[in-house]
Chain A
Amino acid sequence: QVQLQESGPGLVKPSETLSLTCTVSGGSINNYYWSWIRQPPGKGLEWIGYIYYSGSTNYNPSLKSRVTISVDTSKNQFSLKLSSVTAADTAVYYCARHPGVYLGGYFDYWGQGTLVTVSS
């Protein structure tokens, strides 16, 4: 059974960089797409971006200038960096797997989520 686990600081100061890592267990990171999705408290879901195991990426244009997603296949991990954060970036951050894009663009496995609060 594939499991995903997010890790990283739960508190980030304004203007700094949010950094999270997702560790995949129970399966290989190879041959899949891996996304970051966030959910502000009490609100809906926003896709941040994805990375293919080979390293190709696609980001939400609304966040593209501040987002970097990377992958480390040797550790079965992928990571998110979001720069210049503000209070509006406070959210539960999820990592998720998808078999492909378009028709395969559904998220079949999710991490439990980690709350990141932006505050001084």
Chain B
Amino acid sequence: DIQMTQSPSSLSASVGDRVTITCRASQSISSYLNWYQQKPGKAPKLLIYAASSLQSGVPSRFSGSGSGTDFTLTISSLQPEDFATYYCQQSYSTPTTFGQGTRLEIK
């Protein structure tokens, strides 16, 4: 299985901050990388697919980049509703696997 490692595991930031979350794959996955946001008690929500494509309806302050083994999710200016847990997911091979999550908290 391809292992996905996110860093940091948790992060404290303030409204208006620029935040970057990193996801590293244990082998090259081309651009088959997706990002999700999950709030407590809710299902994950798709933000970014294919490394850099913004899902319809997702604010443009979210962006993704990377290819191969290293990927980033950037939030350009944190809003109060962005405090949540973020997961990356590789769909390069089955079984599809997720990172362990990055919890974004209010500073």
Contacts and interface: CB of A to CB of B under 8 A. Distances in A.
A74 interface: no
A5 to B, nearest CB: 11
Contacts of B83: none
Given A103-B50, A105-B91, A106-B34, A45 B44 contact: yes
A61 interface: yes
Interface in B59-107: 87, 89, 91-101
A110 B87 contact: no
Contacts of B94: 58, 60, 101
Contacts of B87: 44-45
Interface majority SS on B: helix, strand, loop or mixed?
loop
B44 A110 contact: yes
B95 A107 contact: no
Interface majority SS on A: helix, strand, loop or mixed?
loop
A35 B91 CA distance: 13
A48 B61 CA distance: 32
A12 to B, nearest CB: 21
Interface of A: 44-47, 58, 60-62, 94, 96, 98, 101-108, 110-113
A45 B6 CA distance: 13
Contact of B95 (A60, A104, A106, A112): A60
The winner among A44, A96, A104, A108 for most chain B CB atoms within 10 A is A44
A32 to B, nearest CB: 14
B50 A107 contact: no
